[in-house]
């Protein structure tokens, strides 16, 4: 079983819609959760992190964490074509360990 | 100013050769990493250095050797390159091991022919 699982997609949404990206993780003791965006041919860039159960909002992005269900998601409101990228979920179970999912490819259609 | 810079950006080489990739960060971070991203976009950690000491050494072949002359630099040397080594290698840094919000370098696309 992989430590972090994401639906690889591709996920297509129309411009202006809400994009919902999901991630599950296997280590129940995980403490920190991150979302990275990676444009084609570029390096990953950190867009959100969350440590506590519930929602965390930053502009058009909302991260949601449910530790009981071992589930973290990213919502992108008012999706724009510039949001088209691969979104990587990353989990820090303990100490030095840090695992990435394989990413979900998002396409926002104008 | 580039926060995490790595060179070269592209590297094409023949099987059996030895090559190095260099990484430097000017963020004052204590921890640096090497990640390998395969063709399916899977990012896997290879090494982590915290203030010049190796902290993580995942199960990578010993043909790969990290070298950190100081906490701002982490280089990756690869001996006897194989076809399966073809991937994008990312250097990254973070404030410390307890704060793994990474800043990534732009990546080195290694192609072994």
Above 80 in pLDDT, residue B76?
yes
pLDDT (mean) for A8-32: 92
Instruction: Give the chain B residue nearest A47 (alpha carbons).
Output: B101
The owner of tokens 């999706």 is A79
Average pLDDT over residues A33-58: 93
pLDDT-derived band of residue B97, with 50, 70 and 90 as boundaries? low
Q: Is the peptide bond before B8 cis (omega within 30 degrees of 0)?
A: yes
**Residues B5/B107, Cβ–Cβ less than 8 Å:** no
Q: In which band, very low, low, confident or very high, does the pLDDT at B1 lie, cut at 50, 70 and 90?
A: low
**Whole-number pLDDT of residue A96:** 64
pLDDT of amino acid B56:
73
Which residues of B lie closer than 8 Å to A, measured between beta carbons?
Answer: 40-45, 48, 55-56, 90, 97, 100-107
- Mean pLDDT of the region A71-85: 97
Q: What is the mean pLDDT of residues A2-14?
A: 89
Helices and strands in chain B, H and E counts: 0, 11
Locate B40 and state its tokens. Answer: 């399916």
Residue B100's pLDDT band (cuts 50, 70, 90): low
Q: What pLDDT is recorded for position A29?
A: 86
Which of A45, A92, A102 lies at the smallest CB-CB distance from B100?
A92
At CB < 8 Å, which residues of chain A contact B?
Answer: 32, 34, 36, 38, 42-46, 49, 86, 88, 90, 92, 95-98, 100, 102-103
Contact between A98 and B44 using a beta-carbon 8 Å cutoff: no
The CA distance from B105 to A23, in Å, is: 25
Nearest chain A residue to B54, by CA: A96
User: What stretch of H or E contains A105?
Assistant: strand A104-109
* Average pLDDT of the residues of chain B: 90
Name which residue leads in pLDDT, B59 or A104. A104
Task: Using the predicted structure, report yes or no on whether residue A85 has a pLDDT greater than 90.
Answer: yes
**Of B42, B56, B107, which is closest to A102 when you measure between CB atoms?**
B42
Q: Which of A87-101, B12-26, B27-41, B54-68 has the highest mean pLDDT?
A: B12-26
């Amino acid at each position: 079983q992989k430590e972090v699982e994401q639906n690889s997609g591709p996920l297509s949404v129309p411009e202006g819609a809400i994009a919902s990206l999901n991630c599950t993780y296997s280590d129940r003791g995980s403490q920190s959760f991150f979302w990275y965006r990676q444009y084609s041919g570029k390096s990953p860039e950190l867009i959100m992190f969350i440590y506590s159960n519930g929602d965390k909002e930053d502009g058009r992005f909302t991260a949601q964490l449910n530790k009981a269900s071992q589930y973290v998601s990213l919502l992108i409101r008012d999706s724009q074509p510039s949001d088209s990228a691969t979104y990587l979920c990353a989990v820090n179970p303990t100490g030095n360990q840090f695992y990435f999912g394989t990413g979900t490819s998002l396409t926002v259609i104008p | 100013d580039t926060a995490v810079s790595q060179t070269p950006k592209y590297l094409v080489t023949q099987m059996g050769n030895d090559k190095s990739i260099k990484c430097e960060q000017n963020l004052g971070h204590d921890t640096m990493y090497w990640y390998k991203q395969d063709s399916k976009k899977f990012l896997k950690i290879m090494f982590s250095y915290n203030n010049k000491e190796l902290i993580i050494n995942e199960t990578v072949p010993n043909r790969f050797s990290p070298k950190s002359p100081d906490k701002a630099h982490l280089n990756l040397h690869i001996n006897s390159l194989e076809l399966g080594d073809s991937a994008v290698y990312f250097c990254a840094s973070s404030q410390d091991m307890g704060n793994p919000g990474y800043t990534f370098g732009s990546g080195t696309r290694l192609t072994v022919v």
